[in-house]
């Protein structure tokens, strides 16, 4: 089932290549976590990024049944995030880690043995 994915570019012109990479990464995440209902990815640069080498900021909001997962790339400390592809990679890795942790917690609660 095709899930809703919205991609927004801020302070920069849209890039087909960056958008395609975000779609590929979302598709991989969706295969591991099919319960995802939708996702919004914001790709942002501080103004003046092109001349100062400031990192890209990727924010991801994932809709799940009964909950949401938020990744805020503005807290990233990766110097490689000056490259949009690396910033996307780090943000989607964080999203996957958060989703994996939530799934493990839910399974632990579901499979807890009675005392």
Is residue 61 within 8 Å of residue 40, measured between CB atoms?
Answer: yes
Answer with the residue of higher pLDDT: 26 or 81: 26
Give burial (CB, 10 Å; 0-12/13-18/19+) of 8: exposed
Model pLDDT, residue 66: 86
SS3 93: helix
Model pLDDT, residue 50: 56
C-alpha span between 112 and 30 (Å, rounded): 27
**Beta-bridge mates of residue 40:** 6, 61
Model pLDDT, residue 15: 94
Model pLDDT, residue 73: 81
All domains of the chain in start order, with CATH: 4-110 (3.30.160.100)
Model pLDDT, residue 46: 72
Instruction: Name the pTM for this structure.
Output: 0.82
Model pLDDT, residue 51: 47
Is residue 74 within 8 Å of residue 57, measured between CB atoms?
Answer: yes
- Helix, strand, coil % over all residues of the chain, rounded to 5: 50, 25, 30
Q: Is the pLDDT of residue 9 over 60?
A: yes
Residue 7: how many CB atoms within 10 A of its CB? Answer: 17
């Amino acid at each position: 089932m095709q899930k809703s994915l919205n991609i927004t570019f801020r302070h920069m012109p849209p890039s087909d290549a960056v958008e395609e990479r975000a779609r590929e990464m979302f598709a991989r995440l969706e295969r591991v976590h099919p319960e995802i209902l939708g996702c919004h990815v914001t790709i942002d640069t501080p103004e003046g990024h092109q001349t100062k080498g400031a990192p890209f900021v990727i924010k991801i909001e994932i809709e799940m049944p009964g909950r949401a997962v938020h990744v805020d790339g503005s807290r990233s400390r990766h110097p490689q995030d000056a490259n949009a592809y690396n910033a996307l990679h780090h943000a989607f890795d964080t999203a996957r880690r958060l989703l994996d942790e939530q799934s493990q917690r839910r399974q632990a609660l579901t499979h807890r043995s009675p005392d």
